[in-house]
Every structure is written in C-alpha cells, then in structure tokens.
A and B are shown apart, each in its own frame.
Chain A
Amino acid sequence: MKKEVILLIAEDDEGHAALITKNIQRAGIHNKVIRFADGQETIDFLFGEGDGPHRQRGQSYVLLLDIRMPKMDGIEVLRRIKSDPEICKIPVIMLTTTDDPREIEKCHEIGCSNYITKPIDYEKFVYAVRQLGLFLLIIEVPKINGNA
C-alpha cells in the first residue's frame, strides 16, 4: 500500500482500535490512521458533513468498518458509501465480533471488499490483522475525487 493511502478505522471500541492499529503496524504498515468513534463520524468525514474533519480531494483511503456501532451501524455506513458513485470506490473491510454467516453475506451483497471476524483468540486476531496488512499492501487503492 502506497504511503499516501490513509487508513480509516471506524471502531467505537477504543481498545479494539488500538489493538488493530498496533497489530497492523507490527505487520509493517505504517500509513496514516484516522479513527472514527461511530458511523455518523465516518459518514460526516467521507461526505463532508458536520463540524468534524472532512476528507480531501484526490486522496486515497481504505476503510476498516466495525458493524456494531452507536448512532449508525457499519452496515448502514457501508450502504451509504456504496450508493455514492465516487465514494463507493473506497475499499471497505468489515470488522465484526460475530461470525454469523448471514451478516457476512449481507455485507458482501452491499459491496464490501473484505470481511474480518474479530477473534477472541488473540493469536488468531493477530494473524487476521496481519493478513489484513498484507492485503492492504497489495491492493491498488483508487484516489477519491468529487466534493467532500
């Protein structure tokens, strides 16, 4: 993954976010990380709404999106992203604590790029995040244009 790609992490749980960030960095990915505490923040950032920070034109992003979040859940965020002709180009990797196959299916239907279960087994979790890191290293992330 190119250095200029920004890693967006939408995760209400601060601990999870920290663990993910830590392990991604351990996997050798040192890109800039922006974290959102809920779905609404994420949407505001991407669509240029609200008072918080907004995305920049011509910047490339990858979004790690937790499903269970307050205010707006990950599935709704995903749906909004995928219904915008420009923003839909952002690769979205779903994060969830459940391995409910129906939930996974739903996300793939809407158009997520990948899906990661947050395992309690720490080794597995680390392995999964490392895999994610490898994934992020190889994918070609498009620049996102359009007004933020």
Chain B
Amino acid sequence: MTALFCVAFIVTQLLIIFAFLYGIPGTSYLGDYQQNRADSFLRLGTVADMKKAEVDQWIRNIRNDTRKFCASGITRREVARLLSIGQGGQAAATLRGNRAILSEVSGLFGSEHTTYRSIRIADARNGLIIFSSIPSEIGRSLDQDVGFLRVRQGNMPYHIDIRKDPLTEKANLSFCREILAPGQALGTTPIAVLLAEIDPEEMAAFILHTGVGLGESGEVVLVNQDQFVLTTLRKPLKDGSIALPLETRLEALPAVNAAAGAEGIIAGNDYAGVPVFAAYRHIRLSSDFGWGMVVKQSQREALASLREKMSLYAILSTVAVLLVLAVSLLLARMVSRPILRLSEVAAAVEEGNLSARAPEGGGDELGALGRTFNNMVHRVQEWHEELNLEVETRTSELSVANETLRKEIAERQKAEEELDRANAELEEKNRDLEQVVYVASHDLRSPLVNIIGFSREVRRSLSDIRAAIADISLTEQERKAIDAILRDDIDPALGFIAAGTEKMDRLLAGLLRLSRTERARLEIAPTDMDLLLEKVLRTFEFQIKKYGVTVLREPLPPCRGDEVQLNQVFSNLVDNAVKYLDPTRPGTVRITGKVEDGHVIYCVEDNGIGIPAAHQGKIFEIFHRLRPADSAGEGLGLSIVRKILYRHGGRLWVESEEGKGSKFLVSLPKKMG
C-alpha cells in the first residue's frame, strides 16, 4: 500500500517536472526547456545578426578605403604613368621615388578601420607587381592569384577573399580592386589591380569575440564558400587534430548550411561533435561568392540554468518522496497497527472467541472504532448467550413436544391398527354375509324345486285320480264327497302352495341378484348417459304408452362407470317412477343432470304418489316395499341401486313429498380413481 503510494507520488513528481521542462500538452505553456531554448536561440540570432553586421561593416570600410584609393586621380595617373615607363627594376626604382602614390598608400595604411599587411599594385596585363608596400616584392608576378585574375577580367570591380598569399604563403584576407586609367570607362578591362592584404586574425579578433552573452562555450566560426575554416578554432576537431585555416574543411551542419547561403538557427552538433545551438548566417561578398558564419553555444551551457532547476527538482522530489515515505510509515504505525489488531480480534470473534476485545486506547477515530467494535462484540456475546439459553429452553420444550407427539403417534398407530383389524373383520363379515346370501338363495331354491315340482306331480296325480274315479262306480254321495275334497280342499291347497313357492322363488332370485351385484366385476369406462337413458327408456316403451306417461329428458353430462350396472340403476329408477305414478293425474317423468363440485348429479323426478316422510329412510332397506299390495316386485331394486352406486363411489338419495312426487338423485364422481 505504502509502496504503491510512493510509486504514484514519484510518477506524479516526474510528470510535474516533465511539465515544467517540456510544457503542458494542449496548453500554451511550453515549459522551461522550450523557454530556455527559445531564449538561447534569440540570443544566438541576435549575436549572429550583430556579427554579420559587423563583418559587413568591416568589409564595407575596406571597400570604401580601396575605392577611395583606386578612384583617386593621383593613383590612376601615377599607375598609368608607371605602366607606361616600362617594366622591371627600372619601374620599381621609379616607383620607390614616387611620392604621389606613397601618400595615397599611406592614406590606406592610415585607415582607422583596418590594419593592412601590405598594399600591392600589379600590372593587369602580366601580373607583375609594379608597386608594393614591401619593396622586395616589386617585379614579382601575381598571375596565379585568384583575386587578381577575377578582377583583371573586368567583370567585377573588386574581389574579396581569404586565401593563401602566393608570395608570403600566409593566409591573407585579400581585397582586390580594379584600377582604371584616367578617363577610362567603367566595365572595361582595368590597367592594374590593387591587392590590399589584411591579416585575417584582425577580423577574427572582433568577430570571434562573443562577449559574455554566449558564455564560455560561445564561438563564432567563419567558413568560405567551400566550407574551409577561415579563422582559428577554439577547440580541436572531433578526431583531436587542430584545425588550420584554409586547410580544414568543416562538415558540421550549421557551417555547411551557412556556406551554401542559408541562414537560420538549429540545434545540432558542432565540428567537435558537441551538441550546440547554432545560428548560421551567410555573408555575401559578391553576387556569387560569400562566407558562412556560425554563432554557436553548447547546449550544455545554454541550458545550464535548466539543469540546475532539474537538479533542484530532483533533490526536492527525493526529499519529498522520503518525507512521504516517512510520514506513510508513521501513519501506518499509527493507523494500520490498531486496525490490524482490530482485524485480528475480529477474526478471533469470527472463529467463535466472543470474549476477545480490541484495544480501546486513543481518543481518535480508531479508539472510537475499537470501542464501538467491543460494544458490538459484547452485544453479540450477550445475544449469543441469550440465544443459547433460548435454544436450550426450546430444545427441552421440543423434546417434551416430541415425546408427546411420539406417544400420540403410537396411540394413533394403535388406533389405526385397531381400525384396520375392525375393517378386516368387517370385510370378512361382509364376505360371510354375501356367502350366506348366496348359499341361502341357492340352497333355499333346491327344496322349492321339490315343492313346486311335486305339487305339480300331485296335481297331475289328482287328475289321474279324477279320471280313475270317473271309471269306478260310486254312490252320488260318495262321488260328491270325493269331489268336494278334491275341488274344495286339495285344489286350493295346491294353489296356495304354488303361490307361496313362487313368491319364495322371486325373493330368492332377488337375493341372488343382489349377491351377484355385490360380486360382479366393475368395468369402468366413459359412459354416454344420453345413449344409456335412451336404451333404458326403450325397454319401458310399452308401459310409457300404456299409462300415457310424459317423459322429459334433458341432455345429460357424461360420466365414468360400468355401463351394465348403470343401466340397472336407471332401469330401476325409471321403473319405480312409472310404477308409482298417481293414476288420478297424467304422469310425468323428468330426467336431468348437472355437474357439481367434481360430481355428476342425475335426477329422476316423477309426479307420482310420493313417499311419506316416515318411510323415506326405509325404502332402501332390503325387501322393503312401499305398497306391497299394489305392486309386483321383491323390494330389492333400490337396495341394488344403492349398492351399485356405493361401489362406484357414488350416492343415492331421495327428496319426496307424499301426494306430489319423488326425486331420486344419483351422484357419481366425475372421474373414477
């Protein structure tokens, strides 16, 4: 954390220094480096311009001096006279004594601007010196001198250059100027050429003086058109050699630019390979000839103040970073140690040590934090204890409740077992009962077969007896008595036997049917009740027509059930409805159905005699008959219907009012399990 902070701080510092040096991007602030560079450039430019002006002025002075000399009538006349006298030593001798020229020459030497090394006048035709301030030179030839040759042609009135003097072998600044004969027109070939020789160091003396403005490394370098150095250099070249005027060619860019005629300021390396700021200027000497001048200062010196500032910044930054580090460490000691301690305590609390406490020292935020934390842990501890207590209480309560529950479950299980046992017993009893009914109905029929069969046989025998009696002779009284026995006693007796047995048979058949209903397998399937009722009603067509019954049948919802048994149910209900109609009014039977709460409820309603409230509970009892005298049947119909519906998971009940009619309602589940 501290390290990160330090890195961030250092980066920020560096950014600030960078901004100081190179400016802030996107703003007009250019920074100290740019500022210093611009200052340096300005200084260099100013010095260069000044130096150039000085050189120009200096050359102009020479030009003026020489022009004055050459244009002077005395000079022209005397030179023309000298040339006409003749050549060689004679002429020289003559010249020596020529006070007129000497006075003019002395005018040159007396110039307040320049110190001339020598003054020469050469014959334009052959280059022979006809006059010189150094008398030994008279008679010698200058026909190899570049300046002489250029001026002699008459194209330009003068020529100035620093070159190696062909006579003295020294580097001389040589100013050559044409001398015309008296009255000769300008632009024509001169008769003689003046060569004024100047020590280049004289020029260098003021040129090279750069003053305090450019510091210790400030230097002015002058090169000719071919980049050869014209003045002595203050430093050795890159390779360590000492530069010699007119022998050493400079390759440094400012010198090259200046020699080529360009002017400007650049940052680059100088001849010694040192990084410099350099202003370069071209000093035009003639239309196609000039010098290059470089005014330069080492960047190191030019930016010295900047470097000092940078050093200062660096020191300040270092100090600041160290200070920040120290403060951070101090803060860390002050802040993080209690926080660490607090976090340790928190970890301990988290692991379950609720008695751990943080140090509460100090009145600052950390102290407050510690106290708050401790309060919190204290509360948690209290809660924890309360919770434990609560849990214990609840646990004991729960175990009591569990025990109670366990007992209850055991009791319930016991009760269920008992119920199961009772159910099993009931089922067995039911089975027994069914078996009893079945066997009874079956076995009771056997003797009936005999009773009926043999009573028929008896009747048959009776007619045999009658036939036999008819054949035998009997008294009228005897015959009457026998007839009376046969007709009045045996016949009715046989009749009663027959009626009784038939009734017995019907009852047994009913019982058998009931028992069979109980044992029949159910074939549950979706049943179209409209179709079913249609079938049922068709079987009652005869009775319906016979009694003129109006049957109203609404569309019925379908249900699921055993079609055969449902047919039996509705056959029974319709049969009852038709059977118990009131003969005193037109009979109506209405069959409706509706869906209600997952059940389908069908209703068979009649406007018949109705059922007295007292009887309504009994009509479903086995062998119960509403009006035994008035109707046929065994009184088993509704028992069977109810049994069938019970097996379907349905229900049968009645709503009836005596004298008005009855409603038999059948409920069946919409869906069977």
Contacts and interface: CB of A to CB of B under 8 A. Distances in A.
Given A98-B512, A100-B512, A100-B516, A122 B453 contact: yes
A119 B445 CA distance: 9
A97 B502 contact: no
B505 A120 contact: yes
Contacts of A121: 452
Nearest to A125: B453
Given A100-B512, A100-B516, A120-B501, A13 B453 contact: no
A17 to B, nearest CB: 10
A120 B450 contact: no
A98 B445 contact: yes
B413 to A, nearest CB: 40
Interface string A116-138: 00111110010000000000000
Given A22-B457, A68-B442, A98-B442, A16 B449 contact: yes
B445 A13 contact: no
Contact of A125 (B441, B443, B449): B449
Nearest to B455: A122
A15 interface: yes
B144 interface: no
Contact of A120 (B454, B457, B502, B516): B502
A19 interface: yes
Contacts of A13: 446-447, 449-450
B55 interface: no
Contacts of A120: 445, 448-449, 452, 501-502, 505
B456 interface: yes
Majority secondary structure of chain A interface residues (helix, strand, loop or mixed): loop
Interface in B309-352: none
Interface in B414-465: 441-443, 445-450, 452-454, 456-457
Contacts of B453: 15-16, 19, 122, 125
B633 to A, nearest CB: 17
Interface in A73-117: 97-98, 100
Quick one: which of B441, B446, B457 has the most chain A CB within 10 A?
B446
Interface in A23-60: none
A100 to B, nearest CB: 6
A19 B502 CA distance: 18
Contacts of B449: 13, 15-16, 19, 97, 118-120, 125
A68 B502 contact: no
B446 A97 contact: yes
A19 B445 contact: no
Contacts of B454: 15, 19
Given A120-B501, A120-B502, A19 B450 contact: yes
B504 to A, nearest CB: 8
Contacts of A122: 452-453, 456
A68 B443 contact: yes
A120 B456 CA distance: 11
Q: Nearest 6 A-B pairs (CB), nearest first?
A: A15-B450, A120-B505, A97-B445, A122-B456, A19-B453, A122-B452
Interface of A: 13, 15-16, 19, 22, 68, 97-98, 100, 118-122, 125
25 contacts: A13-B447, A13-B450, A15-B447, A15-B449, A15-B453, A15-B454, A16-B453, A19-B449, A19-B453, A19-B457, A68-B442, A97-B442, A97-B445, A97-B449, A98-B441, A100-B516, A118-B445, A119-B449, A120-B445, A120-B448, A120-B449, A120-B502, A120-B505, A121-B452, A122-B456
Interface of B: 441-443, 445-450, 452-454, 456-457, 501-502, 505, 512, 516
